[in-house]
Structure 1
Amino acid sequence: MNHLVIYAHPNPKSFGKGIVDIVVKASEEKGANVRVRDLYEIGFDPILKASDFVDLQNGRIAEDIAVEQENIKWADVITFVYPVWWASFPAILRGYVDRVFSNGFAFKSEGGTPVGLLKGKKGLLFCTTGTPSEFYSASGMHNSMIQTSDEAVFKFTGIEEVKHAFFGSVPSVTDEIRNDYLEEVKKIVKDTL
């Protein structure tokens, strides 16, 4: 089993990095091969350029996109780890999706109907918030985020969405609660693999 982890947080000491570490450890304990793509560390360019469209129309792929697409092809499980900013992905992860999950690679159109091309893969999403999860849930934002990430990215491209876990109030909760969050991550990963 090959597990690709896409991490999007500018602080290498964030709680999100702790989640990545647990994902890697749990995956390796289950015998999986793991690759981590820290989008900030690798300096991923999130800006979709006009030249990217021209390249795609001419059968070319920018080198940085090709590298990421090869990682996705390699993966059986794809995990996104990110903080929620303005009820969405950070811009660098949004740009990753825009550039890497491209038409002809992640999906195609058949008779005007989109068809996912990443079938057979599983997806996990672990996201942290500074706001209590209860607020996001009561306001409908959890459902909105599920719609725009799980449905509009993972399922649209054929990925079987396995689990989307939200971890709220990360800066203000106790270490005990943070440890509970990490145990939940570990269980989800092991159950998925």
Structure 2
Amino acid sequence: MTRILLLDGHPDPDPARYGHALVDAYVEGAVGAGHEVRRVRIADLDFPILRTQAEYREEPVLPVIEAIQRDLLWSEHVAIFYPLWLGDVPAWFKAFLEQLLRPDFAFRYVKQGFPEPLLQGRSARVVVTMQTPAPVYSWLYRAHSLKSLERNILRFCGLGPVRHKIIGSVDGGWTPRKRYLEEVADLGAAAR
């Protein structure tokens, strides 16, 4: 059994969004395989955007974010789902990550050298959906924002290994949605 924290990073609470269906499939696969899952829907959260370095470093963590931090410490695996908007994570999801991954929780500044990661011992899976065909995003755009999330945020904080799945052309009408739901359920069952 693996303890999984699932972050549903779609800012739109509409349950008809395909990203939410993918999250449901992952949870069903994970729970069906005996894993324990705690789920966070950022669309349901209310928090301010951090605007200054002082807020980021010194502002007290909100109780709702503190509860999610406890869930993150509890987890052994983190599954992250989000849609690609303007070539990157949606702003609301990025604002959530900035609230969640604060200094002295996710990493620690040191006097000299690179900050010390504090979230080691957890693997991660990122599932990103987009209207762009997945090969175009991977080859032409080199999946730049996904790589940035993986390297500059998740690995920076100590998570690893970090794996990803890109699901493209979600609004194209020909995307094999059922097959992707099955594949994501299998990822949940494998806690990967």
Scaled by the length of structure 2, the TM-score of the pair is 0.88
Change (3 A) 1:160 1:36: same
Q: What's the CA shift for 1:191?
A: 2.9
Extract unaligned runs of 5+ from structure 1.
none
Match runs of 1:44-83 below 5 Å:
44-45=46-47, 47-50=49-52, 52-53=55-56, 55-56=58-59, 60-83=60-83
Q: Are the counterparts in 2 of residues 122 and 159 from structure 1 also a CA contact under 8 Å?
A: yes
Deviation, structure 1 residue 138: 2.6
Q: Give yes or no for the alignment of 1:163 onto 2:163.
A: yes
The AA in structure 1 aligned to 2:141 is G
Alignment of 1:34-183 (within 5 A): 34-41=37-44, 43-45=45-47, 47-50=49-52, 52-53=55-56, 55-56=58-59, 60-110=60-110, 111-142=112-143, 144-174=144-174, 177-183=176-182
Give unpaired runs (5+ residues) of structure 2.
none
**TM (normalized to structure 1)?**
0.88
Query: RMSD in angstroms over aligned alpha carbons?
Result: 1.9
CA separation in 1, counterparts of 2:48 and 2:169?
Answer: 27
- Distance in 1 of aligned mates of 2:15 and 2:135: 27
Larger RCO, structures 1/2 (Cα 8 Å, 6+ apart) = 2
Alpha-carbon distance in 2 for matches of 1:37, 1:183: 21
SS in 2 for 1:24: helix
Find the aligned partners of 1:13 and 1:100 in 2 and give their Cα distance. Answer: 27
TM superposition shift of 1:108? 1.1
Residue 12 of structure 1: how far off its partner (Å): 1.8
> Relative to structure 1, is the Cα distance of residues 70 and 52 closer, same or farther in structure 2, using a 3 angstrom cutoff?
farther
Give CA deviations for 1:159-188 in whole Å, capped at 9, x if unaligned: 01332111000012336x111112221222
Matched-pair contact (CA < 8 Å) for 2:28–2:188: no
Q: Which runs of 4+ in 1 moved over 3 A?
A: 49-56
Pairing 1:16-35 to 2, within 5 Å after superposition: 16-35=19-38
Q: Distance in 1 between matches of 2:184 and 2:41?
A: 18
SS at match of 2:137: helix
Count of residue pairs the alignment pairs up: 187
Cα distance, 1:121 vs structure 2: 0.6
Structure 1 residues 46 and 137, CA gap change in structure 2 (3 angstroms): farther
